[in-house]
Amino acid sequence: MATVIIPTPLRKFTNNTARLDIKADTIENTVHELTLNFPDLKKHLLDDKGQIRSFVNIFVGNDDIRDLQQGKTPVQTDTVISIVPAIAGGFA
């Protein structure tokens, strides 16, 4: 199973779990499994069409899925997936 690292802001939706093991063959299926097991994550990860939100950054190892096959990026049993939500900022 692949290991998904849940960022601190989203852990409140995963019972404060930082790492989850998910059995899936692609990033899309991994996110689907996550949202089935933790429905409150859905609105934070997926848009109204069920696609990964554009501001959610997902990495397979050190590689952004946008530089790979996006949602179709294959997932192996030893894959480490990191979800990095966008953080708004500005000048003070």
Domain count, the chain: 1
Say if CB 78 and CB 84 are below 8 A apart: no
Flag whether 27 is in a domain: yes
- Its domain, for residue 58, covers 2-85
Flag whether 42 is in a domain: yes
Flag whether 90 is in a domain: no
Model confidence pLDDT, tens digit, residues 1-25: 899 999 999 999 999 999 999 999 9
What is the per-residue pLDDT for 54?
Answer: 87
Which class for 75: exposed (0-12), middle (13-18), buried (19 or more C-beta within 10 A)?
Answer: buried
Flag whether 28 is in a domain: yes
What is the per-residue pLDDT for 89?
Answer: 52
Strands 80-85 and 56-60: antiparallel
What is the per-residue pLDDT for 91?
Answer: 54
What is the per-residue pLDDT for 16?
Answer: 95
Of the listed ranges 27-31, 76-80, 87-91, the one predicted with least confidence: 87-91
Indicate the pLDDT class of residue 88, thresholds 50, 70 and 90.
low
3-state secondary structure of 52: strand
Determine the Cα–Cα distance for residues 68 and 42; give it in Å rounded to an integer: 23
Mean pLDDT value across the chain: 90
Tokens coding 61: 């190892």
The CATH number of residue 69's host domain is 3.10.20.30
For residue 62, the 8-state DSSP code is: T
Flag whether 71 is in a domain: yes
